């Protein structure tokens, strides 16, 4: 399992920078690695959402609660638990004219979940697709837990591509080619692991979609 420190060592080797180079300092590389991890997790959520599926209970206060910090897409909301009555998504301004519905607001996790006045339960059960929380890879000892272990090198490759070495057109073809190959293999691995069955046709947008 690659840690953030190991990913930075890989990144320095890929771009050919020594650890004492100001362009390869921890202060420079840490945000690049964190952003690369978040981007890859978002791509997995878009392409293979079932790989990042999760459930949680959201406690409500006066009909309002916060989703988990790793929410990428809300797939289903039910009263109390997974067997409760389902709630349907609705635009926030229309909640007062709607029954058995919810709205999701905010620009990022944790999002604010608001239910209609007729929903009087103290908590709702949600099914959602996970994204990389803001605290992911916050320390050198942390690992990218939402990316398959065998593909942790993709984070370093994506970070190298993001650095762009002065512009996308100057990225060495071998880096771009290896990144595309490794990402493709990772997505194929995740898709294959799901086995046979209907694939999701829902675009991964927060507040839309259904739980299978």
β-strands 101-105, 86-89 pairing: parallel
pLDDT per residue over 170-185, tens digit each? 557 778 899 999 999 9
Range 64-73 average pLDDT: 95
Side-chain half-sphere of 189: how many Cα atoms within 13 Å?
Answer: 12
Instruction: Using the predicted structure, report yes or no on whether residue 90 has a pLDDT greater than 80.
Output: yes
pLDDT at residue 169, as a whole number: 47
Instruction: Using the predicted structure, report yes or no on whether residue 104 has a pLDDT greater than 70.
Output: yes
Instruction: Using the predicted structure, report yes or no on whether residue 165 has a pLDDT greater than 80.
Output: no
Instruction: Assess contact for 92 and 153: CB atoms under 8 A.
Output: no
Higher-pLDDT residue of 149 and 198 is: 149
Instruction: Using the predicted structure, report yes or no on whether residue 111 has a pLDDT greater than 70.
Output: yes
Instruction: Assess contact for 62 and 204: CB atoms under 8 A.
Output: no
Token look-up 């929380």 returns: 133
pLDDT at residue 203, as a whole number: 46
Range 17-32 average pLDDT: 91
pLDDT at residue 184, as a whole number: 95
Q: Domain-by-domain residue ranges, the chain? A: 4-50+134-193, 52-130
- Check the CA dihedral 193-199-204-209 and report its sign: negative
Give the long-range contacts of residues 49-52, CB within 8 A, separation 24 or more.
49/73, 49/75, 49/129, 49/200, 49/202, 49/204, 49/209, 50/194, 50/200, 50/212, 51/190, 51/193, 51/194, 52/129, 52/130, 52/131, 52/146
pTM score over 0.85: no
pLDDT at residue 51, as a whole number: 94
């Amino acid at each position: 399992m690659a840690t953030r420190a190991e990913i930075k060592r890989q990144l320095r080797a890929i771009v050919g920078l020594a650890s004492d180079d100001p362009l390869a300092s921890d202060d420079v590389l840490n945000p690049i690695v964190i952003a690369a991890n978040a981007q890859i997790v978002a791509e997995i959520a878009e392409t293979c959402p079932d790989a990042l599926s999760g459930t949680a209970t959201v406690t409500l206060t006066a009909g309002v609660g916060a989703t988990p910090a790793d929410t990428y897409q809300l797939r289903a909301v039910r009263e109390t638990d997974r067997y409760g009555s389902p709630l349907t998504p609705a635009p926030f301004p229309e909640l007062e004219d709607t029954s058995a519905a919810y709205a999701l607001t905010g620009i990022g996790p944790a999002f604010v979940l608001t239910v209609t006045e007729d929903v009087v339960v103290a908590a709702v059960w949600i099914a959602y697709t996970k994204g990389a929380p803001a605290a992911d890879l916050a320390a050198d000892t942390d690992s990218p837990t939402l990316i398959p272990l065998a593909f942790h090198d993709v984070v370093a490759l994506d970070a190298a591509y993001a650095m762009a070495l002065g512009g996308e057109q100057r990225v060495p073809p071998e880096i771009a080619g290896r990144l595309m190959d490794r990402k493709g293999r990772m997505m194929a691995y995740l898709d294959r692991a799901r086995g046979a069955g209907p694939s999701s046709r829902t675009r991964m947008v927060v507040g839309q979609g259904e739980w299978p």
